[in-house]
């Protein structure tokens, strides 16, 4: 017999945050940097818990150069070579502000070990689209054994059972949460699988915190308010791709059509990504990502400041003195409409 969970699951656009009386009189009083200690790694991390996604259009050395100035992390894409990392090392990158990404095959494991022979980094991001396959748990435990003190992330999942499994048996510090919420992702269309991102964050954060782990809310951010809602829902870190795409610093040429400038952004499970990085898309799979022209946004610095300013403003509305306090200061209200788009 088919099962239906009758409880409504919510996305960012289904809610607003209820304002509360506050003793904060200026956005300048808000502290967005915070310190983390982890379940397995002995690294104590300090910075803004925001991450540029490890997509080949956003997880780049050039994006790192801008975001690192703000203590924001860049998850580097997994297609950089050992030589690329050797060159990157010459700029003395901060090992706390970039992540090494990997798949779960033996070849990926060997490449991961080789990368760490040439560069120092405190983060490992084990990244596959479907975090429900048993090989992920096995691979995570293998990486933990090889790198006992690194901050290890794995995903993606959207339910509490797998969050607990990855933390307790995979020995990861942080679980990446999100199936299908990204602007360049078509997984929900092609498979019918997923969960609205806000509810996924709330459920998975509760599960992770119960076993002394953490989560990353990965995807679904369309505006600074969404990022505030993600932190308010319990996300320890928030990862985003589309908001960091389309800038001067992103790879690719500027395309101009009818006087409007664009840059290309694409999902890592798209046909374009498969053909670009693997030479083909296997015929047993379908494309689960979009190839998008994004209106050119100018300098990444402007977007970063806009989002950080939005987060500080959220905090002043709910009396959260710092980003850590956002989840305990947030009360969501369900809405049928949240913005007036008549002149949008």
- Catalytic positions, please? 185
3-state DSSP helix/strand/coil percent for the chain, to nearest 5? 35, 20, 45
Q: For residue 64, with 0-12 CB atoms within 10 Å meaning exposed, 13-18 middle and 19 or more buried, which class applies?
A: buried
- Rounded Cα distance, 166 and 216, in Å: 13
For β-strands 45-47 and 34-36, DSSP reports them as antiparallel
SS3 label, residue 217: strand
- Which residue reads 């997984």 in tokens? 187
Per DSSP, what are the bridge partners of residue 237? 216
Q: Where are the beta strands (DSSP E) in 202-259?
A: 214-218, 237-240, 255-257
Pair 174, 215: CB distance under 8 Å? yes
Q: For residue 106, with 0-12 CB atoms within 10 Å meaning exposed, 13-18 middle and 19 or more buried, which class applies?
A: exposed
């Amino acid at each position: 017999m088919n099962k239906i969970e009758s409880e409504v699951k919510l996305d960012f656009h289904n809610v607003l945050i209820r304002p509360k009386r506050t003793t904060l009189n200026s956005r300048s009083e808000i502290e967005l940097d915070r310190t983390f200690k982890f379940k397995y790694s002995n690294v104590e991390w300090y910075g803004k818990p925001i991450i540029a996604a490890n997509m080949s259009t956003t997880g780049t050395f050039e994006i790192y150069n801008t975001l690192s100035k703000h203590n924001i992390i860049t998850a580097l894409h997994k297609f950089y070579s050992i030589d690329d990392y050797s060159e990157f090392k010459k700029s003395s990158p901060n090992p706390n502000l970039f992540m090494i990404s990997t798949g779960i095959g033996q070849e990926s494991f060997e490449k991961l070990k080789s990368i760490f022979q040439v560069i120092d980094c405190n983060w490992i991001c084990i990244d596959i689209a479907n975090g429900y396959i048993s090989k992920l748990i096995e691979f995570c435990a293998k990486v933990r054994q090889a790198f006992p003190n690194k901050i290890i992330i794995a995903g993606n999942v959207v339910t509490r059972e797998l969050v607990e499994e990855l933390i307790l048996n995979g020995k990861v510090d942080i679980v990446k949460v999100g199936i299908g919420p990204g602007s360049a992702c078509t997984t929900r269309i092609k498979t019918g699988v997923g969960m609205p991102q806000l509810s996924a964050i709330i459920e998975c954060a509760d599960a992770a915190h119960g076993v002394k782990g953490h989560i990353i809310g990965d995807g679904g951010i369309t505006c600074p308010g969404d990022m505030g809602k993600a932190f308010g829902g319990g996300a320890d870190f928030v990862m985003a791709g589309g908001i960091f795409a389309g800038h001067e610093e992103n790879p690719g040429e500027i395309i101009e059509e009818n006087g409007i400038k664009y840059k290309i952004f694409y999902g890592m499970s798209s046909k374009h990504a498969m053909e670009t990085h693997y030479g083909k898309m296997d015929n047993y799979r379908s494309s689960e990502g979009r190839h998008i022209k994004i209106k050119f946004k100018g300098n990444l610095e402007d977007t970063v400041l806009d989002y950080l300013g939005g987060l500080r403003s959220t905090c002043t509305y709910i009396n959260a003195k710092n980003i850590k306090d956002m989840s305990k200061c947030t009360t969501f209200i369900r809405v049928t409409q949240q913005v007036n788009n008549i002149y949008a």
